[in-house]
Amino acid sequence: MIYTVTFNPAIDCVTHCNDLATGAVNRADAQAFYFGGKGVNVSFVLAHLGRESTALGYTAGWTGAALEAALHDAGIKADFIRLSSGDTRVNIKLKGTIAGADADEVETAVNGPGPVVDDDAFDAFMAKIANVGEGDFLILSGGLLPGMPVDTYARILDAMANSGARMVVDATGETLTRALPYKPFLIKPNDEELAEICGCDENDVDALIAGARDLQAQGAQNVLVSRGGKGSFIICETGDFMDAPVIKGELVNSVGAGDSVVAGFVEGYLRAEEAGMSDLAACESAYKLGQACGSATAFSPWLAPTELVEQLLAQL
């Protein structure tokens, strides 16, 4: 089983409004709601790929109930801990032109904070993952809730060290580096995040590759680095290097593209293992499916439509 962890899931309210004026009443011409958070996004993409997963983390209030209902409707098992106070966050995404400005359409985001987690709630989460074991994946994605210490992921990985499960960590900064000694199966920093960790220029490809190899030397098995419009590269568990240019297409949506890459890589690796491929061949196959899923999300209003994923994968 694949378990995804999203400590701070969200409902994105995406509103389109042209001639937006601050300090005034504006009328939107379109509005849509999307249920997400990084691990939740991974679960949605896995569902599109035909793979079951269980979504873990915290929800609160009526917004949390709505998010769990959306997961249920998509056929995803939601096993969140319900907090007694607060609400699952709502993120406001405003798209459109600005009144009086001769400029292209812009996007402004205001992200909610999320509820507060105490020690009892964290203990309840640790009890919930106690049965994760051999053959399972545990995917830790995204930021922490208010009140959660920076070593939260490291504490989880330490507790799971002898479980036999494979860990994926999609996080930034110290949260990521503290996880490395526990040998996560996959980490996926982007170029900006990697540059911050290794103290190099995000446009210096050689320095980024050296930085990725250093993270591997510190414990990460597979290091996949996304570079936006510049493509991506991966250092496989075998030590082999692969890179790929960005797949060409019209950018529609940037939200969830990285999460889609994670979902595609894990699914691709599982398919390769089931087919009896070598570690290197499995990494290459997983990398390709990750690229296809990330691009399918970028070219669509939402997450990785199955048909588009298959079309893009056939091009690789």
Catalytic residue positions, numbered: 259
CB atoms within 10 A of CB 36: 24
Q: Which residues pair with residue 110 across a beta bridge? A: 92
Please, are residues 186 and 265 in contact by the beta-carbon 8 Å criterion?
yes
Ramachandran region, residue 236 (left: φ > 0; alpha: ψ -120 to 50; beta: rest)? beta
Size of the chain in residues: 316
Alpha helices in the chain, H assignment, sequence order: 38-48, 61-73, 119-128, 152-159, 173-177, 191-198, 205-217, 257-274, 279-298, 306-314
| CA 51 from centroid of its chain's CA atoms | 16
Q: Which residues pair with residue 57 across a beta bridge? A: 6
